[in-house]
Chains A and B, each alone.
Chain A
Amino acid sequence: MNFKNFKFDLSNKNKDLIPQVLTVLLLVLVVIYFTINAQNNMGNRGISFGFGFLSQESSFDITFSLIDYDGSHSYAKAFLVGLLNTILVSSIGIFFATILGVTVGIGRLSQNYLVAKAAEWYVEIFRNIPLILQIFFWYFAALRALPLPVDSINFYDISFLNVKGWYVPKFIWTNFSVFFYSIILAIISIIFFYKYAKKQRDEYGKQLPTFYISLGIIIGLPLLTFLIGGVSLSFQIPELEQLSTTVYVYKGGVSIIPELISLALALSMYTATFIAENVRAGILGVSKGQKEAAASIGLTKGQILKLVVMPQALRIIIPPTTNQYLNLTKNSSLAAAIAYPDIVLVFAGTALMQTGRAIEIISITMLTYLSLSLSISVFMNWYNKKIAIKEK
Chain B
Amino acid sequence: MIKSIKTWILVGFASLLLVACGQGGGGAGSKKSKTLENTKKAGFVKCGVSQGLPGFSNADASGNWTGIDVDVCRAVAAAVLGDADKVKYTPLSAKERFTALTSGEIDVLARNTTWTLSRDADIGLTFVGVNFYDGQGFMVRKNSGINSVNDFKNGISACTNTGTTTELNMRDFFNSKNISYEPIAFEKADEVVQAYDAGRCDTYTTDKSGLAAQRTKLSAPDDHKVLPETISKEPLGPVVRQGDSVWEDIVRWSLNTMIEAEEYGVNSSNASSLKESDNPAIKRLVGAEGELGAAFGLDNEWSLRIIEQVGNYGESYKKHIADTNILPNRGPNELWTKGGILYVPPAR
Q: Which of A149-204 contact B (CB under 8 A)?
A: 163-164
Residue of A61, A140, A336, A352 touching B171 (CB-CB under 8 A): A61
Counting CB contacts under 8 A, is B230 at the interface? no
Q: Within the complex, what minimum Cβ distance (angstroms) separates A158 from chain B? A: 20
How does the 8 Å CB contact mask read for B289-322 relative to A, with 1 for contact and 0 for none?
0000000000000000000000000000000000
- B186: chain A residues within 8 A (beta carbon): 337-339
Please state if A41 and B25 are interface contacts (CB–CB under 8 Å).
yes
Give CA–CA (A19, B200) in the complex, Å: 61
Q: Which of B141-184 contact A (CB under 8 A)?
A: 141, 143-146, 151-157, 159, 162-164, 167-168, 170-172, 175, 181-184
For B152, the closest partner residue in chain A by CB is A243
Q: Which of A13-71 contact B (CB under 8 A)?
A: 15, 18-19, 22-23, 26, 29-30, 33, 37, 40-42, 44-48, 59-63, 71
Counting CB contacts under 8 A, is A143 at the interface? yes
Counting CB contacts under 8 A, is A285 at the interface? no
Please state if A46 and B242 are interface contacts (CB–CB under 8 Å).
yes
Counting CB contacts under 8 A, is B99 at the interface? yes
Please state if A163 and B144 are interface contacts (CB–CB under 8 Å).
no
- B347: chain A residues within 8 A (beta carbon): none
- A19: chain B residues within 8 A (beta carbon): 4, 7, 11
Give CA–CA (A70, B321) in the complex, Å: 37
Please state if A353 and B102 are interface contacts (CB–CB under 8 Å).
no
Residue of A62, A243, A358 touching B153 (CB-CB under 8 A): A243
Give CA–CA (A148, B157) in the complex, Å: 13
Q: Within the complex, what minimum Cβ distance (angstroms) separates B236 from chain A? A: 16
Residue of B21, B145, B155 touching A245 (CB-CB under 8 A): B145
Known: A15-B4, A47-B124. A247 touches B171 (CB 8 A): no
Please state if B184 and A245 are interface contacts (CB–CB under 8 Å).
no
Counting CB contacts under 8 A, is A301 at the interface? no
Give CA–CA (A63, B143) in the complex, Å: 25
- B162: chain A residues within 8 A (beta carbon): 336, 339, 345, 349-350, 353
Give CA–CA (A229, B242) in the complex, Å: 66
Counting CB contacts under 8 A, is A354 at the interface? yes
Please state if B155 and A249 are interface contacts (CB–CB under 8 Å).
yes
Counting CB contacts under 8 A, is B14 at the interface? yes
Q: Within the complex, what minimum Cβ distance (angstroms) separates B247 from chain A? A: 13
Give CA–CA (A357, B123) in the complex, Å: 7
Q: Within the complex, what minimum Cβ distance (angstroms) separates A130 from chain B? A: 16
Residue of A42, A249, A356 touching B98 (CB-CB under 8 A): A356
Number of interface residues of B (CB under 8 A): 64
Q: Which of B183-200 contact A (CB under 8 A)?
A: 183-188, 191, 194-195, 198-200
Question: Interface stretch among B26-34, B252-260, B266-274, B328-336?
Answer: B26-34
For B26, the closest partner residue in chain A by CB is A41
Give CA–CA (A373, B41) in the complex, Å: 46
Please state if A143 and B199 are interface contacts (CB–CB under 8 Å).
yes
Known: A19-B7, A246-B144, A339-B185. A241 touches B155 (CB 8 A): yes
Residue of B18, B28, B119, B172 touching A45 (CB-CB under 8 A): B28
Q: Within the complex, what minimum Cβ distance (angstroms) separates B192 from chain A? A: 8
For B241, the closest partner residue in chain A by CB is A45
- B118: chain A residues within 8 A (beta carbon): 354-356
Q: Within the complex, what minimum Cβ distance (angstroms) separates B295 from chain A? A: 23
Known: A15-B4, A33-B18, A63-B184. A244 touches B29 (CB 8 A): no
Please state if B25 and A337 are interface contacts (CB–CB under 8 Å).
no
Residue of A10, A46, A350, A358 touching B185 (CB-CB under 8 A): A350
Residue of A22, A26, A243, A356 touching B119 (CB-CB under 8 A): A356
- B200: chain A residues within 8 A (beta carbon): 143, 163-164, 258
Q: Within the complex, what minimum Cβ distance (angstroms) separates B140 from chain A? A: 8
How does the 8 Å CB contact mask read for B106-126 relative to A, with 1 for contact and 0 for none?
000000000000110011100
Please state if B202 and A243 are interface contacts (CB–CB under 8 Å).
yes
Counting from the closest, the 8 A-B pairs by CB-CB distance are: A245-B145, A356-B123, A353-B163, A143-B198, A45-B124, A244-B145, A249-B155, A41-B26
Interface residues of A (CB under 8 A from B): 10, 15, 18-19, 22-23, 26, 29-30, 33, 37, 40-42, 44-48, 59-63, 71, 140, 143-144, 148, 163-164, 241, 243-247, 249, 251, 258-259, 336-339, 341, 345, 349-350, 352-358
Q: A45-B241, A247-B202 are in contact. List 13 more A-B contacts (CB 8 A).
A: A22-B7, A40-B26, A44-B243, A61-B167, A61-B171, A71-B175, A243-B154, A244-B153, A339-B195, A353-B164, A356-B98, A356-B123, A357-B123
26 residue pairs A–B, Cβ–Cβ below 8 Å: A10-B1, A18-B7, A19-B11, A37-B26, A44-B243, A45-B242, A59-B168, A60-B168, A62-B183, A63-B183, A71-B171, A143-B200, A164-B200, A243-B202, A244-B146, A244-B153, A245-B144, A247-B145, A247-B146, A337-B187, A337-B188, A338-B186, A338-B191, A349-B163, A355-B122, A357-B123
